[in-house]
Amino acid sequence: MTLKEKIESHRARVGIIGLGYVGLPLACEFVRAGFAVTGVDNDAAKVDGVNRGISHVQDVANEVLAARVGAQALTATTRPQALKECDAVIICVPTPLRKTRDPDISYIVAAVEGIATSLHRDMLVVLESTTYPGTTEEVIRPKLESTGLSAGKDFYLAFSPERVDPGNPRYNTRNTPKIVGGVTPQCTEMAAALYRTAVETVIQVSSTQCAEMIKLLENTFRSVNIGLVNEIALMCARLDLDVWEVIDAAATKPFGFMPFYPGPGLGGHCIPIDPHYLSWKLKTLNYYAKFIELASEINSNMPHHVVTRVVDALNTLRKSVKGSRILVLGIAYKRDISDVRESPALDIVKLLADKGAEVVYNDPHAPEIAMDHGILRSAPLTDELLEGCDCVVIVTNHSDYDYSRIVEKARVVVDTRNATRGVRAAPGKILKI
């Protein structure tokens, strides 16, 4: 039976390397579509949890995962040798930046080396991890073809960028359109055939490089536009204007304007990182990506601006930052999720602590965080805590918070998300970025 026949009859076994926020929801969708799935991850605790039906990913409920595992259609393992039994393998591993802001594709390389030992004829290999244009052709293809098999002839190779938005109540793995580009037209079609079984919309593009570039464009677009409104926020602060009022009014124009909103900085797995993959690639071609670098500079300095606003707030109380007790509300990088990766709140906590403040935080979704000086734990959001702090800084606008109560009990509030819109307060009690 050919791979295409196995896909059409849902008899193909799908292997997924990396069972994080991308891989685990994808695995569940393929099981829902009727496929047997083998998940591979080098985190033994994560693998054990998956096999017991306990989800570590917010977008996958325990009951959903337990049903998938209970049907014996989803199994997890730390052994990459299990990929030998798979007909299709999808790579969903992290692609962080090094401290020098160079791409770190070591997780991709390790995954491909594991696949190479299990590669067989008529196998499909798809990379979903975000990376720079050319990775699939220049890094993955040579490693797999070193086995003696040829891409497009003996096996299929494609790139399909993950587009997961953690915590999004409307768009998920199934209904977010899937981009697919292969190293040959046959590779593109085979990957598209697989994804069509589990995803509502599949869009084929001409090459892996095109598919890789699409993902970077999407997140660079957001990074640059957020950088623009963050700079507008800095301008408005100097002009004594409400940036939120300015943006909301501009957004009434029915054409030619798309509203983006300022904040304390960029966070998460994509927007702070992905544009640097593109910038790095272009530097190898002697091209300097000016917009990307400028937006990054503005966005990365926003935590410092937040601290400046805290200084302004404390000045109204005739207090210095040193010795003040400051409450940070929300440590996750965005609303109503537990993910703290690259969260600007971490920078804000560190900057305030470095200035001598006693910093405590509350986040109903993130009970503890690891800092350089140890573990910080979320403090219960009591009236006593709110009243006992010199300043409250709203960094993440979780829907759990009662902002009227927070403003009432706090001495002064710095609001980085416009979360207190419509809340009545004495003049000067709320400072916004």
Q: Do residues 191 and 291 share a domain? A: no
285-310 pLDDT tens trace: 999 999 999 999 999 999 999 999 99
Residue 211 lies in a domain: no
Q: Do residues 21 and 113 share a domain? A: yes
pTM of the model: 0.93
Residue 60 lies in a domain: yes
Q: Do residues 202 and 236 share a domain? A: no
Examine the fold and report which residue of 142, 176, 206 is the final residue of a domain before the chain moves on.
206
Res. 271 pLDDT band, cuts 50 70 90: confident
29-48 pLDDT tens trace: 999 999 999 999 999 999 99
At residue 269, the pLDDT reads 77
134-145 pLDDT tens trace: 999 999 999 999
CB within 8 Å of 36: residues ≥ 6 apart: 13, 14, 73, 74
Examine the fold and report which residue of 144, 173, 206 is the final residue of a domain before the chain moves on.
206
Dihedral (CA of 75, 81, 87, 93) sign: positive
Q: Do residues 79 and 160 share a domain? A: yes
Q: Do residues 33 and 135 share a domain? A: yes
Residue 184 lies in a domain: yes
Res. 99 pLDDT band, cuts 50 70 90: confident
Amino acid at the residue 416 = T
Buried/exposed 51-76: b ≥16 CB within 10 Å, e otherwise:
eebebbbebbeeebbebbbeeebbbb
Q: Do residues 151 and 252 share a domain? A: no
- Number of structural domains found in the chain: 2
Q: How far apart are CA 378 and CA 433, in angstroms?
A: 24
Whole-angstrom CA distances from 313 to 177, 411, 430, 432 are 45, 10, 8, 10
Q: Report whether pLDDT(330) > 90.
A: yes
At residue 420, the pLDDT reads 98
Q: Work out the angle between the directed axes of helices 302-315 and 290-300 (0-180°, nearest 10).
A: 30
Q: Do residues 261 and 123 share a domain? A: no
CB within 8 Å of 65: residues ≥ 6 apart: 24, 28, 50, 53, 54, 55, 74
Q: Do residues 187 and 250 share a domain? A: no
At residue 255, the pLDDT reads 97
Q: Do residues 177 and 309 share a domain? A: no
Q: Do residues 248 and 347 share a domain? A: yes
At residue 372, the pLDDT reads 82
At residue 373, the pLDDT reads 78
| Average pLDDT over every residue of 3-22 | 97
Residue 183 lies in a domain: yes
Contact 328, 393 (CB under 8 A): yes
Q: How far apart are CA 24 and CA 22, in angstroms?
A: 6
Residue 223 lies in a domain: no
Residue 128 lies in a domain: yes
Determine which of 81-95, 99-113, 185-199, 392-406 has the lowest per-residue pLDDT on average: 99-113
Residue 247 lies in a domain: yes
Catalytic residues: 270
Q: Report whether pLDDT(252) > 90.
A: yes
In which domain, by residue range, is 13 found? 3-206
CATH number at residue 187: 3.40.50.720
Res. 102 pLDDT band, cuts 50 70 90: confident
At residue 270, the pLDDT reads 85
Q: Do residues 164 and 263 share a domain? A: no
Q: Do residues 174 and 278 share a domain? A: no
Max Cα–Cα distance, the chain, nearest Å: 78
Arithmetic mean of pLDDT over the chain: 96
Q: Report whether pLDDT(254) > 90.
A: yes
Residue 288 lies in a domain: yes
